[in-house]
């Protein structure tokens, strides 16, 4: 079960279910072994490096990795290839993470330009901040049901702990798209809706679960059901006073506002690089990690000044 806390206590008494086995998400080595298992069932090209694929799939579980291989095989068949190559597996990962590409969904030039700057904002902030995960790919090709583009970051290693600075950097990257729209267009759009929701939730968890707030300090007023995974979270029922609730709202709002200003500052100071990335996106629609490194070869700050916590 994924919900052990809802099981009847009678089921967990001695002599019934004495041993509980927690199945965590596989690490890098585990993902590679799972990929080898499923890869043995399809014809893989000589250029396929399953270690690289495993590194590109942090957080995926066995069923996701099986789907990567299945999707890769289907794509290879669609492209009339005799074997599955890295290109098909790379596209399969994108389909699983963001949904299939919707190249038939034609955006108006005005909207496409806004999406290009939005995604470039995420990219530039991620490349500027010291602890943000590096950008692996950015595209303005629509994917899935609603995504008009997306920026994919790739952790350099499996993570189990996050520092306060790392969480703040993550929030700033989430807000980079909205900040770019304000810097370039002096106006905002609905495209940042999901970014705002995720940033607000992360800020709130910093205050209520991780004890990283200034007013409440090292005091957890909520306990998430899935503390292991930052992307899988169900809050506990509210058990605190209205005064604490107001403090939580104020602190979370302050975190989001500070990180938004931080992202805005990065993009304002480096607007020329924002233009470089956005114009390349408009011309080519996709930027991979190698191309991004070339575009920003003379600019790799990685150590933008931190904002004060107060």
Residues acting as catalytic residues: 119
Question: How does 185-219 read in b/e, with b if 16+ C-beta sit within 10 Å?
Answer: eeeeeebbeebeeebbbbbbbbbbbbebbeebeee
> Which of 69, 59, 1 lies closest to 28, judged by CA?
59
**CA of 296: how far to CAs of 130, 280, 290, 302, in Å?**
16, 12, 10, 12
Block residue for tokens 């279910």? 17
Helix, strand or coil for residue 35?
helix
The 8-class DSSP code of residue 145 comes to T
């Amino acid at each position: 079960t994924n919900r052990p806390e809802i099981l009847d206590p009678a089921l967990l008494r001695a002599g019934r279910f004495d041993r509980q086995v927690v199945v965590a998400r596989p690490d890098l080595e585990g993902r590679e072994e799972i990929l080898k298992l499923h890869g043995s069932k399809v014809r893989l090209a000589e250029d396929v490096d399953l270690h690289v694929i495993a590194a590109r799939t942090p957080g995926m579980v066995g069923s996701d990795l099986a789907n990567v291989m299945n999707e890769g095989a289907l794509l290879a068949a669609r492209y009339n290839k005799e074997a599955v190559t890295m290109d098909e597996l790379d596209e399969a990962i994108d389909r699983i993470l963001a949904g299939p590409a919707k190249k038939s969904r034609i955006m108006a030039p005005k909207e496409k330009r806004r999406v290009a700057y939005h995604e470039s904002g995420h990219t530039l902030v991620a490349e500027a901040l010291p602890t943000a995960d590096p950008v692996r790919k950015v595209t303005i090709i629509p994917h899935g049901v609603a995504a008009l583009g997306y920026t994919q970051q790739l952790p350099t290693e499996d993570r189990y702990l996050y520092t306060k600075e790392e969480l703040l950097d993550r929030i700033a990257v989430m807000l980079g798209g909205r900040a770019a729209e304000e810097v370039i267009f002096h106006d905002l759009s609905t495209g940042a809706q999901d970014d705002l929701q995720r940033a607000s939730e992360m800020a709130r968890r910093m205050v209520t679960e991780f004890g990283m707030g200034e007013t409440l300090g090292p005091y957890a007023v909520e306990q998430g059901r899935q503390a292991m995974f930052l992307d899988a979270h169900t809050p506990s029922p509210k058990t605190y006073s209205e005064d604490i609730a107001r403090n939580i709202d104020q602190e979370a709002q302050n975190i989001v506002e500070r990180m938004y200003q931080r992202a805005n500052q990065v993009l304002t100071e480096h607007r020329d690089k924002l233009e470089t990335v956005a114009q390349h996106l408009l011309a080519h629609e996709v930027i991979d990690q190698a191309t991004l490194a070339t575009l920003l070869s003379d600019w790799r700050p990685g150590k933008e000044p931190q904002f004060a916590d107060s």
